[in-house]
């Protein structure tokens, strides 16, 4: 049987008005209630938020091995799929596009991305795709649970945050925080404004890096950054690494920063975050973001993942994480 690999990320759901409080909710129960309430997948299909954007939906779902599991898929309406014709004796390969077949009764679309999730309590395991990551899954959850099914109040925020391993937490216990490094492409976005008779471009700080820094250190510092005088093109990316030196000596400061970083940088690559801790050295993003590569069977027909095998692998990994006390139960 053919096999493929999936990188699975461990996350932990948090509820609160600021997304940081654990609250008394558990995501498995809340999401199961919402899915039962909105049984028709067309009613839980989130329309694109921008022109030409993706539609997203939790498609198939079930309870397996005491977990709520399912598919999370996306598509772009009317998308065409390029096809290359491989032939010998030609100067170039022909490129054509195909469209998904349509009828008056059935609408078909090409799938842009397919991810998988398994949720037990507030433990979240995500097998992401290139176009569907934790950011998209989190945004969809808030839309489904709050706006659509209304199983949560409007003032609640659900975050799918990283959970530093207990080994990392022990390693930094009673240690002093020396610095935090966030290195990522920070994109200045051009915003058209009118000044008298002239139209000018003002630049605003945007992108994952700025969003993370705002979450860690507050919006005021970074919203005051003036990029307009320094840039004259909207095709500019600024690579910035910001280090914030910690001078306080309270023993739990490092734990607090580690927890804040796990939330603020939850959608970032592990390569883009790090902490410097006295007596420990650098705590890298790979130590903050728990993940594992699993090998799963692929169905002979269609080439899709054999989901029962994936659920079994995810269940085994979650049990292993808990039994080895790598994460809080």
Residues 39 and 180 in one domain: no
Q: Are residues 118 and 21 in the same domain?
A: yes
CA distance 321 to 327: 6
What confidence tens digit (pLDDT) does each residue in 86-98 have?
A: 999 999 999 999 9
Instruction: Quote the crossing angle between the two packed helices 253-264 and 208-217, to the nearest 10°.
Output: 150
Q: Which two tokens stand for residue 125?
A: 């395991």
In a domain, 59, yes or no: yes
Task: Say if 84 falls within a structural domain.
Answer: no
Q: Model-level pTM?
A: 0.77
Looking at the structure, tell me whether residues 205 and 248 fall in a common domain.
yes
Taking residue 79's Cβ as centre, other Cβ atoms within 10 Å add up to 15
Q: How many domains does the chain have?
A: 2
Instruction: Decide if pLDDT at 170 tops 60.
Output: yes
Residues 159, 142: contact at Cβ < 8 Å?
A: no
Nearest to 310 by CA among 142, 72, 130, 121: 72
Q: In whole angstroms, what is the distance from residue 159 CA to residue 264 CA?
A: 10
pLDDT for residue 219 is more than 60: no
- In the DSSP assignment, the letter for residue 48 is P
Rg (CA), the chain: 23
8 Å CB contact between 202 and 191: yes
Looking at the structure, tell me whether residues 147 and 202 fall in a common domain.
no
Residue 87 in any domain: the answer is no
Closest to 284 in 3D by CA, of 265, 308, 300, 310 = 265
Residue numbers of the domain that contains 257: 166-288
* pLDDT reported for residue 210: 55
């Amino acid at each position: 049987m053919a096999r493929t690999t999936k990188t699975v990320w461990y996350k932990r759901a948090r509820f609160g008005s600021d997304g940081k409080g654990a609250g008394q909710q558990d995501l498995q129960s809340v999401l199961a209630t919402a899915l039962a309430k909105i049984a028709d997948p067309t009613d839980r299909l989130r329309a694109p938020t921008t022109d030409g954007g993706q539609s997203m939906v939790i498609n198939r779902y079930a309870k397996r091995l005491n977990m709520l599991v399912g598919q999370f898929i996306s598509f772009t309406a009317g998308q065409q799929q390029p096809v290359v014709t491989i032939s010998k004796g030609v100067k170039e390969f022909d490129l054509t596009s195909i469209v998904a077949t349509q009828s008056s009764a059935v609408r078909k679309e090409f799938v842009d991305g397919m991810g998988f999730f398994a949720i037990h309590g507030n433990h979240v395991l995500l097998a992401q795709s290139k176009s569907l990551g934790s950011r998209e899954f989190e945004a969809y959850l808030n839309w489904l649970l709050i706006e659509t099914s209304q199983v949560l109040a409007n003032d609640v925020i659900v975050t799918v945050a990283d959970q530093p391993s207990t080994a990392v937490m022990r390693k930094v216990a009673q240690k002093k925080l020396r610095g935090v490094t966030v290195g990522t492409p920070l994109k200045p976005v051009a915003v058209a404004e009118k000044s008298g008779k002239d139209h000018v471009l003002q630049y605003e700080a945007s992108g994952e890096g700025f969003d993370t820094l705002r979450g860690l250190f507050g919006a005021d510092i970074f919203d005051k950054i003036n990029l307009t005088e320094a840039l004259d093109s909207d095709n500019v990316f600024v690579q910035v690494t910001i280090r914030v030196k910690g001078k306080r000596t309270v023993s739990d400061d490092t734990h607090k920063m580690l927890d804040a970083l796990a939330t603020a940088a939850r959608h970032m690559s592990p390569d883009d975050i790090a902490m410097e801790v006295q007596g420990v050295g650098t705590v890298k993003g790979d130590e903050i973001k728990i993940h594992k590569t699993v090998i799963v069977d692929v169905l002979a027909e269609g080439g899709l993942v054999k989901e029962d095998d994936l659920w079994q692998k995810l269940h085994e990994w979650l049990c292993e994480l808990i039994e080895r006390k790598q994460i809080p139960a």
